[in-house]
Amino acid sequence: MGEAAPPAGMTGIVQSDIDLDVVRSILQRFQPRDHQEAQELILGALQEVNEHFGYVSLEAAEVVAEHLGTTATRVYALLTFYADFRTEPRGKHFMLLCHGMSCFVGGSQRLVQELKDRWGIEDGETTADGELTVQVVNGCLGVCDRAPYCVLDGHSVGELTVESLNETLQRVIAAGGSWKDGHHG
Ligand code: FES
């Protein structure tokens, strides 16, 4: 463990099912020539870890800090400052829900509300049963002709209504780990 305690907002952080050897191999691509360059690489390294695992655990953050010769405190600060980083694992299923202009006009606010009312989750949160994590994207996901639109487990789902959102989520969760055929999209 590093020398610093995590800030208050990160005390609930999960103590890693992230394979730290994988983190170390990701970090091999980040070889700063000096301290200044190391500082500049911290964000990029965290982004790669976040992308690979879907989040950055406390332990992974410490490995990054060690590799780039900085303090764990500084890395925690970056993780908590930037909304793009997750510090907890995603649920079994992951949905990017578009909340860009076309989707908003098409009713994405109702979908956001439904996720809150029925599924108990808001942006960045995971259902209590660990099945579903949602990330609400305020920029356009680039498929406006299918608005309101989301990407669920990497698959496009468009023309969403509250009913089709619920139905799709129920089906995907009931199907277990993998997305089944038979969807539009
Ligand atoms: S605004 Fe949602 S896909 Fe473009």
93-124 confidence digits (pLDDT tens) = 999 999 999 999 999 999 999 999 999 999 98
Angle made by CA atoms 62, 94, 55, in degrees to the nearest 5: 5
Question: Do residue 126 and residue 156 come from a single domain?
Answer: yes
Mutate which of 96, 98, 160 for ligand 1 pocket (most atoms within 8 A of beta carbon): 98
CA–centroid distance, residue 123 to ligand 1 (Å): 17
Question: Do residue 97 and residue 170 come from a single domain?
Answer: yes
Please give the pLDDT value at position 11.
44
Question: Do residue 12 and residue 76 come from a single domain?
Answer: yes
The rounded distance, in Å, linking the Cα atoms of 160 and 146 is 8
The rounded distance, in Å, linking the Cα atoms of 56 and 49 is 6
Question: Which strands, in side-by-side order, build the sheet including 150-152?
Answer: 132-137, 93-98, 150-152, 155-157
Looking at the 3D structure of the chain, how many domains does it have?
2
Ligand 1 atom at minimal distance to the Cα of residue 143? 3
Radius of gyration over every alpha carbon of the chain, rounded to an integer in angstroms: 18
- Whether 103 lines ligand 1, by a CB cut-off of 6 Å, is yes
pTM above 0.75, yes or no: no
The rounded distance, in Å, linking the Cα atoms of 130 and 143 is 28
The answer to the question of residue 147 being in a domain is yes
2-60 confidence digits (pLDDT tens) = 445 555 444 444 445 799 999 999 999 999 999 999 999 999 999 999 999 989 999 99
Its domain, for residue 21, covers 8-81
Question: Do residue 74 and residue 120 come from a single domain?
Answer: no
The answer to the question of residue 3 being in a domain is no
Question: Do residue 98 and residue 155 come from a single domain?
Answer: yes
Question: Do residue 112 and residue 141 come from a single domain?
Answer: yes
2 phi/psi in degrees, rounded to 5? -80, -175
